[in-house]
Structure 1
Amino acid sequence: MEEEINSHLSADRIQSMLRTDRWIIHYMESVDSTNNWARQEAEGGAPGGSVYLADTQTAGKGSRGRSWGSPEGTSISMSLVLRPEIEISRISMITLVMGLGAADGIRDVTGIDTGIKWPNDVVCRGKKLCGILTEMGPNGDYLVPGIGINVNMDRFSQDLRDKATSVFLETGRKCDRDRIAAGILESFGRYYDVFLETGDLTGLMDRYQAILANRGRKVRVMNQSNPYSGTALGIDRFGELLVKREDTGTTEKVFAGEVSVRGIYGYV
């Protein structure tokens, strides 16, 4: 018998699926951006562990100022408020931790073979399944990692169909968004605790490398002053992508947020 899928996300239902009380979930049917909502609440004193969830975003944010669409009833738009006691220089690693949590959370619930396109996308078969955008409070006293997951989209526009996919397109069935949201929160929570213990990715590197879609692939590093091509080797404990340059043979460290990395052959 096929599982009944709720037409709307349910904060109460997601909360009941969690094995921890660390997350406090807030839900609105429609917002401009869950990151905006989370930041407003954080400025008002919302504690770390607050989660802001919406069925639809009217002005969702993607990386580098891009918009992120979320049609009604088909996706998950979710932003967290975190208040980690870490150096500001290490904040960019949170995006990688969230990517790992999202990839494994989706995999655990749906069984699809997820990977990570460094530093902020979850992919499946070379196409984007979910994106992550992490923003920091003006004084560095909170972080807001936001995540958008393509769940039950059955099609994409002409310009996106070669780059984007959804859980539905990968499995052939409608999937329970509440379960996926809960799975991501559970998985991210485990990895976040490991990260906080060391202050870097030492305890997560093996798992991250295992599902890093860029690893061993040709990439183009879009450094504005000196773009170059090379082969992605993996990450170091600070989450920097190690790229062996084609032109010099040297290995460079690429810092997330400073430059973008593009696949030469396809999206990844």
Structure 2
Amino acid sequence: MRLACLSIVVLLLISGCGDGDVSPSNNSNNGGNNGGNPTGNVPNTPQITSCLLSGVTTSYSTYTYVRNDAGLVTAINYKYGSYTGGCTIEYNADGLVTRINDDNFYRLYAYNSVGKIETETTINEKPTQIETSKVVITFGYNDLGQMVTATYGNGAYFRYEYDTEGNTKKIYFSQTQSGPEMLSLEYLEFDDKIFSNKTAPFSIEATLTLSGVQSIRTKLNMETMLHNCKSAKQYSGDGSSRTFSFDFTYNQLGNPLTAGDATFSYSCK
């Protein structure tokens, strides 16, 4: 199960909008030697109003985002150790993602009458012994428009619960339609800042083998958040669990600048 608490740090995807390549600071100068400025204000400090994610860098990976004039992500370039690759993303006239093209596979998205994703179909052009050539996931929603189920063709499904603010709180998994369910992931704490995935709703998943990275694949992140997750607990089938926590720094708009060893760059205006 992919940990989507900012997608296990390395998969963090940030939101915003704008242009101009800058990495805005979260620091401010409110005193001290102001170079003769009697008001105490920092002169010539640009004020940003919106930001778009342009890149994520960790100690072992780099992800770069390419956008069109409308600000939509049209490509993501990957570098994970010695592995390099990328994907392209297609949209319909309403700005909804319809297809993601990646190495040896692609994903198709179909929508219902209110613009919610109804199905995700993954076509693997070079399936292995442990992969199938086609996987279809069907999504179900509650009256608030929140995704509550993601069901696979073989009957396995994920079920989602939310807190009162609308953040995904718990994720359950069952191998069959009739259960039993197992708690898979629990989000424990959120900040009060901008959710990183708001306008770049993609997760990037690396498939690792003993010889290194086999593939990196991109999909739409379906989980609903209003704020960034600061800690989460992942549960295993044997009853054990592991807790993850993240310390953030932010820019003046509340976009994360760092989390763990991940650093985020933006195009801002």
TM-score bucket (shorter structure): under 0.3
Q: TM-score, with normalisation over the residues of structure 2? A: 0.24
Higher helix residue share: 1
- Tell me which of the two structures has the higher relative contact order, counting C-alpha pairs closer than 8 angstroms and 6 or more residues apart: 2
Greater CA radius of gyration, 1 or 2? 2
Higher strand residue share: 2
Q: TM-score, with normalisation over the residues of structure 1? A: 0.24
